[in-house]
Chain A
Amino acid sequence: MDISEETLIQGCIKQERRFQKLLYDRYCAAMFTIAVRLCVHYEDAEDALQEAFLEVFKHIHEFRKESTLGAWIKKIVVRTALKKNKKSSQRQDIQILPLTFCDFDNLIEKQTDMEYLEKCILSLPQKSRQIFVLAEIEGYSHEEIAELLQISVGTSKSQLHYAKQLLKQKLEPILK
């Protein structure tokens, strides 16, 4: 059943659980993918998704249709994930389990190229990974990234350059 975006929005404004679930089902995978790429921990990505959707349902009546619903939700997910990350990195007592994959040689044998590329992206240092994901995958401008991460445009550009260099190095084995 293909329900229009407008019907979904109206149903969610009326707080009808059926429409909330439909909206969640429609966007959860795309939003969770963004959250996983932006967060340090997988659990944080889950929490960020949960908090972001609660925020979406709470404020959906404020959606002014200046962008698509997906873009509006994505904005909330990105902000929530980044906020979650900030909090997470402040927790010094908790052991951080980085999503790094160091054994690249073995991975080439087992994974497809896209999965390998994904793992390389996830293995980038946190800050440069966030900037790479936002700029290259999600299409954010450096000005938007600077505002989101509270850094200068110059830092955003240099971090992106650094991320690309690292990625190039990591991808060298399969590019050869």
Chain B
Amino acid sequence: MKNEIYQKLPVYHPPDRVWHNIHQKLDAEEKSRNSLSYIWGVAASVLLILFIAVSMTSNIKNVSKEVQITYSEEHIDTLLTHIPATNESDEFQEIENLCKAQPIKCDDEYAQSLIQQIRDLENASIELSQQASSEQNIPDLSIEKHKNYIQKEKYKRIKKLRRYLDE
């Protein structure tokens, strides 16, 4: 018998329920993946805020003690100035515009998780600025570093969101 004979054998077609089941399982996997990334995002934001708050408190305490006995000769790292100053309302306006263009995508868990993280980071940045200004105008390099770090993290998420909504 030659192989060509077998090419003429009958072909079986699977019932529609097979695709239906595959479709359902893919949907379920996608949902669990999105909610997992949302949980990780929230947890990371909370940890970041806690870390900043704790390190900031300890730094401020140290600086206050040193100022009483000596003077500070802090050298500002020029690398810190590399992040361009941006208008925060512009950033949120841009996100709003993107959301208007892609309302369905913007409402899903992933996009909402990113927006929440951006807001959390924004709040952390404001909180940091307020605390710094309340500490009798003591110049502190670590606060600047933290602020820059938060900004960087925020840009990353804005970039991610933009990419996601542009897809």
Mark A residues whose CB is within 8 Å of B: 15, 17, 20-21, 24, 28-30, 32-33, 36, 45-46, 49-50, 53-54, 57, 114-115, 117-118, 121, 136-137, 139
Given contacts A46-B17, A54-B25, A114-B8, 12 further A-B contacts (CB under 8 A): A15-B30, A21-B19, A29-B14, A32-B12, A33-B10, A46-B15, A50-B25, A54-B26, A57-B22, A117-B9, A136-B3, A137-B3
Indicate if B6 sits at the interface (CB-CB under 8 A). yes
| Nearest 6 interchain pairs by C-beta | A32-B14, A137-B6, A33-B12, A36-B12, A32-B12, A33-B11
Interface pair B10/A20, CB less than 8 Å apart: no
A169 CB → nearest B CB, Å: 14
Indicate if B1 sits at the interface (CB-CB under 8 A). yes
Interface pair A136/B12, CB less than 8 Å apart: no
| Contacting residues, chain A, for B25 (C-beta < 8 A) | 50, 54
B21 CB → nearest A CB, Å: 5
B22 CB → nearest A CB, Å: 5
Interface pair B6/A136, CB less than 8 Å apart: yes
Which A-chain residue is minimally distant from B10 (CB atoms)?
A118
Complex Cα spacing A23 to B22, Å: 13
Chain B 103-120 interface 0/1 with A at a Cβ cutoff of 8 Å (1 = within): 000000000000000000
Which residue in A46, A57, A114 is a CB contact (below 8 Å) of B10? A114
Interface pair A17/B19, CB less than 8 Å apart: no
Chain B 25-69 interface 0/1 with A at a Cβ cutoff of 8 Å (1 = within): 110001000000000000000000000000000000000000000
A contacts with B: majority SS: helix
| Contacting residues, chain A, for B13 (C-beta < 8 A) | 28-29, 32
A74 CB → nearest B CB, Å: 14
Which B-chain residue is minimally distant from A34 (CB atoms)?
B12
Indicate if B160 sits at the interface (CB-CB under 8 A). no
Interface pair B3/A53, CB less than 8 Å apart: no
Complex Cα spacing A54 to B30, Å: 12
Which A-chain residue is minimally distant from B2 (CB atoms)?
A136
Interface pair A28/B14, CB less than 8 Å apart: yes
| Contacting residues, chain A, for B10 (C-beta < 8 A) | 33, 114-115, 118
Interface pair B18/A137, CB less than 8 Å apart: no
Indicate if B152 sits at the interface (CB-CB under 8 A). no
Complex Cα spacing A30 to B5, Å: 16
| Contacting residues, chain A, for B21 (C-beta < 8 A) | 50
| Contacting residues, chain A, for B5 (C-beta < 8 A) | 117
Interface pair B9/A114, CB less than 8 Å apart: yes
10 contacts between A and B (CB under 8 A): A28-B13, A32-B13, A33-B10, A49-B18, A50-B25, A114-B10, A115-B10, A117-B5, A117-B9, A136-B1
Interface pair A28/B18, CB less than 8 Å apart: yes
With A29-B12, A136-B1, A137-B3 in contact, is A50–B18 under 8 Å at CB? yes
Complex Cα spacing A117 to B9, Å: 8
| Contacting residues, chain B, for A117 (C-beta < 8 A) | 5, 9
Complex Cα spacing A63 to B22, Å: 20
Complex Cα spacing A136 to B3, Å: 7
Complex Cα spacing A118 to B3, Å: 14
Interface pair B1/A49, CB less than 8 Å apart: no
